[in-house]
Amino acid sequence: MGQHKTWQERREQLIEATIVSIHEDGLEKTSIQRIAKRAGLTAGIVGHYFGDKDGLLNATYDALYAKILANAERASNSQQSPAARVKSILLGYLSPDQLTPEIVTAWYVLVARLRQSPALQEIQLNAEITVRGKLRALLNEELSSMDAEALSRGLFAMVTGFWVLMASDPASQDYDAHRKSILSVIERFLKAYSLRDT
């Protein structure tokens, strides 16, 4: 007899199926029926939990950010120097679980929907406020409030811009090279403000 799945397990199963469907089928062909089939569930269950396709896309975007925010929380609470913690937060965007073709495609497609979706905009804004707030708080330990604000904005914009650049070139999947490049730029930014990450 199969084990009864919890709501959280089903939710994760459906979000994973959504990410794969976006990558393999494209957003237009991604449907509740396709997602349900991939997850081994019924379309009725998807509707019960998420309402419709937009509800599932919103939950997927929220889940993608939840992983990054969890990384940011761990990094900001570590015992490293403020600069090292700033770098760790930003590298949460570039961790191996974020640099898969499926995840990169999902990010790119969902970010492209921001202008048409107030719900996605709200998720984006809340995540940005959280991440930039953590960066700014750490940088305030070493810099003036004006410099901390400017650097937190610049670093956040650079890392999110990295996603767009990387995802817009589907032929380039050398994610390790991308990660090394962006890490080098982060370190240069920190050095420009005389911040050491050790």
pLDDT tens-digit profile of 36-65?
A: 999 988 899 888 889 999 999 999 999 999
In whole angstroms, what is the distance from residue 114 CA to residue 40 CA? 29
More confident residue, 44 or 169: 44
In whole angstroms, what is the distance from residue 83 CA to residue 9 CA? 36
Question: What are the chain's domains?
Answer: 1-51 (1.10.10.60), 53-192 (1.10.357.10)
Residue 74 has pLDDT above 70, yes or no: yes
Distance of CA 29 to the CA centre of its chain: 23
Average per-residue pLDDT in the chain? Answer: 87
8 A C-beta contact, residue 95 and residue 115: no
Q: Among 55-64, 161-170, 181-190, which is the least confidently predicted range? A: 161-170
